[in-house]
Every structure is written in C-alpha cells, then in structure tokens.
Amino acid sequence: MFGTHHTKMMIFFYEDDTARVVIHTANLVQTDWGKKTQGAWISTQLRKLEPNRVPGRNPSFGPDLLGYLSAYGRELEPLRALLATYDMTHETGAIVGSVPGRHRRDAGALNSFGHLRLGHLLATRVPPLAAGSGVGGGLSEKWMMQEFRGSLLKCKKDRSSDARALQQVGTCVVYPTVEEVRDSNQGWRGGGSIPFNDKTWVKQQSWFRRLLHRWEATKAGRSRAMPHIKTFSRVSATGEVAWFLLTSHNLSQAAWGSLEKSDSQLFIRSYELGVLIYPELFQSQPQQLSTMRYATANDVAHLPKALYLNWPLSKETAAPGQQLEDEDRVDVLIRFPFDFPLSRYRAADDPWRWDVLFEGFDTFGMTRESA
C-alpha cells in the first residue's frame, strides 16, 4: 500500500555514556559515500539527563525525534527508551519527518508530518525573507505550485507586507542535465541514483522545465559529483538564508504527502527524515540578532571539516572580514552543495532521465547502453 523506507539516520552510543545522532542523505553503499554529493547533520555530543543539568534553548528537538521513532512501533522501543535518557535541548535543528498513512485533522495529526509539518514550523518560527528562491532536489503542477509551494512560503507574521511579497518569490529546482551526468566522476553510472523517468518528464515538462536550473557546483567543488543530497531553502538575492532543510525527502508527493478530503487529511507513502535550520536556533540569548548566509567552500576552508552544513563563527575560526559572534549578533554560514547565482537550463539542455539510452561517450569512454 505504501512506498519506501527512505530515512537515513545513525544513532551512536559510546562507552563514556555519551551519544550522537546523525541525519544524512547517503545510503549504506560505498559509491554513495565516496562518489556522490551528500549531506549530513550531526548533533552535539549528547549527555545523559541529570537533575542539575542546565537545559538548552531547544526543548522540542528530543520529543519530536522520539515521536518520529515511535511511529516504528514496538521494535524500536528499546532504542527510543535509551535515547530518551539523553539531553537533546542544545541541538540546532528542528525535526521534519514523514510517516506512511493518512494523518487527519480530527485526530490532531494534520501538521505532524510531511510538507504540513514543514509549513507549520516555518509559520511559527521563521520570519519572512522576500526576494529569494525555494530550492529542491511523479508530481502534479497543482500539488507542486499550490499545495507544496504554499507550505514552503509559510512564515511568521504572514499578514505583513514582507509575507505578501513572498508570493512573488520564484521557485527553482536544481537538477542535473544529461551532459552533467555524462561528464561526472562516474560517467553514465552517476545517474543511476537519480530516478526521474521519461514518462514522468513527458507529462510535466510543459510547466516543470521553467523551474529547472543546472547542477553547477564549481565554487562548491562538486560539479562532477552527482547529487544524492536533498535540500530545500529560501535564499535572498544578497545570499541571506531564511531557512535551510537537509532531508531524505525527494521532491515527490509520496515523500511529502498530498491533501485529501477537503484538506482534512494528509496522505503520505514513505518514511522520511530531515532537519530544518533557521537563525533563531543559534541565538545564545533572546535579544541576540542571528542571521544565516550562503557560503562557498573557500569561505569555510579554514573551519573544521566536521561542521559541514552550518556553524557559528567564533574569534578562533573567523577569517579577516567575516562577522564574529558576540553578545549582540551571530552570523551562521550555510555551505550549499551548489553555486549561487543559479543557472537556468539553456535551450539545448535536457534533464537526466534514468530510463533513456542517451547518445555519446561518458568520462570513461562508455556508451549509455554499455555503462
């Protein structure tokens, strides 16, 4: 009846009674980790809950993650019970999950999962940022441009002029062309984990093509590493980032869910999991001003490699000219897997479809048929 288990997560428990949660995009196969563009959100080193331990500023992360794990039933109850003994209030992220089933308004579950969960978080926690683009990894135009896009455009104070301006924001989809797959570090085989088929393309190209942008990642250093990463974000023309989501969700109705019965229930087919990042999570005190901005690999080359997607700057790690964290302000760099500004598909560009035998020889001199 339902789709797949698509979540990618690891939970580590160590001999010193600490733990760590990793939510990522790679499958447990060698080529995913060594050849493709992926992303990982890594928690702090979690410590056991203690009566005198000072809690952090994010009390919902732990209950939300444990709530997602509870959807698996009894088999994961021992894992869930053990993880519940750790303090997760210091994490810079919010859980966005999908669980198969029909989640109903009358059961209080309509905003618990899928794109409605994301929209709820944005509407309650993220201020508006206009003049940006929504960026993402069979869907209908109505679902994509109205239902799903509607969730992505949610923000706090949605009656403000800034919020109304969001309705004019462009929607962009970064997706590799046939040429980019052919010339990748895996050649034609690099497209094997990009499951977009020709039948779907034929049905939706009349409206979908205008959203497409090339996989250009020269500044990010990943042009030839084909994407398996899934990110969604709202970014201004100046590089300011309102929010950033790293997730297992593909751009599909099966992953994000579709509204049914006069919008009274959300039908989801797959297990998915992601982490939403937004500026307020990095505030060390309520009055502190926090912002996030796009950064290139060169911008963050001096920072620890383990801090892959987001990191507040400090006096020890900041390069000349970069904003430092202080009592009044903190800037957070977000390393996107592709370059800005985005590049629209050219007239001759053809989107990759994994079931088409395209002509030409790849990086290794192989044809599509023989690869």
Residues involved in catalysis = 6, 228
Q: How far is CA 324 from CA 143, 310, 317, 320, in A?
A: 42, 15, 9, 10
Tell me if residue 248 falls in helix, strand or coil.
Answer: coil
Which of these, 291, 360, 296, 371, lies nearest to 332 by C-alpha position? 291
Distance between CA atoms of 43 and 37, rounded to whole angstroms? 20
* Token pair belonging to 300: 């963050």
Backbone angles phi, psi at 25, to 5 degrees: -120, -5
Those residues whose C-beta lies under 8 Å from the C-beta of residue 285, and which sit 6 or more positions away, are: 327
CA dihedral angle for residue 101, residue 106, residue 112, residue 114, rounded to 10 degrees: 50
Are 183 and 176 in contact by the 8 Å Cβ rule? The answer is: no
Those residues whose C-beta lies under 8 Å from the C-beta of residue 305, and which sit 6 or more positions away, are: none
Which of these, 139, 9, 123, lies nearest to 72 by C-alpha position? 9
Are 41 and 75 in contact by the 8 Å Cβ rule? The answer is: no
